[in-house]
Amino acid sequence: MKKLDDKLNHLFSRRNFLAGAGTTAAAAMMVGCSNDSAAPVTTTPTSTFTDADVLNFALNLEYLEASFYLYAANGSGLAAADMAAPSGYSGSYTQGTIKTSGNIPVTSVASGSAGALTAAQQNIINEIAYEEQSHVRFLRSALGSAAVPCPALDLTFFSTLANVTPGIGTPATGTGAFSPYTSFNNFLIGSFIFEDVGVTAYSGAAPLISTTTTGKTYLTAAAGILAVEAYHAGYVRTAITGISVATSSNALIGLANSVAALRASLTVGNTAAPSTSGSVETALTLPTSYSTPSAIVAADPVKAVGFSRTVNQVHHIVYGSATVGVKSGGFFPNGTNSIFATTTA
Of 242, 204, 197, 265, nearest in space to 1 by CA: 265
Mean pLDDT of 50-61: 96
**Quick one: pLDDT at residue 250?**
82
> pLDDT value at position 3?
38
If pLDDT is split at 50, 70 and 90, which confidence band does 10 have?
very low
Residues 23 and 93 sit within 8 Å (Cβ to Cβ): yes
Q: What is the pLDDT of residues 263-308, one digit of tens each?
A: 888 885 544 334 444 468 888 887 777 766 667 888 887 788 888 9
Mean pLDDT of 248-254: 85
pLDDT of residue 247: 87
139 or 186, which is more confident? 139
Q: Which of 295, 188, 164, 163 is nearest to 251 (CA)?
A: 188
**Model pLDDT for residues 196-233, shown as the tens digit of each residue:** 999 999 999 999 999 999 999 999 999 999 999 999 99
- Closest alpha carbon to 17 in 344, 336, 320: 320
Mean pLDDT (the chain, rounded): 78
- pLDDT (tens digit per residue) in 84-132: 999 999 999 999 999 987 667 887 666 656 568 888 999 999 999 999 9
Q: What pLDDT, on the 0 to 100 scale, is given for residue 238?
A: 93
Is residue 313's pLDDT more than 50?
Answer: yes
Section 55-68 average pLDDT: 97
Bridge partners of 329, per DSSP, are: 332
pLDDT at 171 over 60: no
Least confident segment among 22-31, 78-87, 190-199: 22-31
For the ranges 18-32, 83-97, 252-266, 315-329, which has the lowest average pLDDT?
18-32
Q: Is residue 30's pLDDT more than 50?
A: no
Higher pLDDT, 331 or 344: 331
- d(Cα 194, Cα 128) in Å, to the nearest integer? 12
| Entry pTM | 0.81
